[in-house]
Amino acid sequence: MILREAQRAFENKCELPLHVTVDFSPAITQKGIQRQQVGQQLADIIWQSVESVKDQPGNQDQFYIQIERQHDAYFHDIGVFYLNRITDACWSPITSFWVPAAPIDSIQEIIRRKSQNVPGYLSGCDEVWLLILETGSPSSYFDHYEQLRESTFDSAFSRTLVGRISHAEIVELKSEAQ
C-alpha cells in the first residue's frame, strides 16, 4: 500500500516510468503507521533524487540512483532505475529471494513446445523468430543469461531470443534446426 501511494504521488508530479525497489525497515509492519503519509514521504525522497540527476548530461537515456538511509525509521535502501526504452513503471519491495540461474532445460522445453507451431506460422511468412519475454514480475527474473549463450538449443525457429525486461536487453540463443 505504501508503494502504491508513493508511486501515485510521484507520478502526479512526473510521468517517468521508473523501476523502484525499496528495502523497508522492520518498523514498517507496526500497527498505527500512516501508510499514506509514509508513501508521500517516499515519493518526496525519490522526487528529490530524480530531480537532482535527470537533467544532467548523460542521464537523458538512463540513470540509476542508490539511496541509502541506514538510520531512517521506514526505509533502508531505495533503488531508482530509469531507462528510456522501458515504458511501464515497476515499484516493488526488496524481498529476500534468490534469483536462480536461467534454467537451460526449461528454456529448451519452451522452445520445443513452441517449435511445434512453426509450420502454421510459415504459411504467412518466410521466416519465424521466437522471442521469450520475462513477464516483469520479480518471480520471473533469472540470472546468468550468459550461460545460455554457451549452449546450443534445438529450435525450428530462424532465430531464438530472450527478452530481459529487467535489463532492457535481448539475448540471442544459438540454435540448431530440429
Q: What is the pLDDT of residues 106-154, one digit of tens each?
A: 889 889 999 998 888 887 788 899 988 876 555 455 666 767 888 899 9
What range defines the domain where residue 164 resides? 104-177
The domain total for the chain is: 2
Residue scoring higher pLDDT (164 or 111): 111
Cβ atoms 34, 55 nearer than 8 A? no
Residues 13 and 83 in one domain: yes
Sign, CA torsion 112/114/118/119: positive
Kindly give, in sequence order, each residue whose CB lies less than 8 Å from that of residue 116, ignoring residues fewer than 6 positions away: 156
- Cell numbers linked to 115: 517449435
Residues 131 and 155 in one domain: yes
- Cell numbers linked to 103: 534454467
Q: Cell 542521464 maps to which residue?
A: 59
SS3 1: coil
- Cell numbers linked to 107: 528454456
Instruction: Tell me, yes or no, whether 86 lies in a domain.
Output: yes
Residues 46 and 75 in one domain: yes
Full strand arrangement of the beta sheet holding 129-133: 129-133, 159-164, 169-177, 152-155
Residue 87 confidence class, pLDDT cut points 50, 70, 90: confident
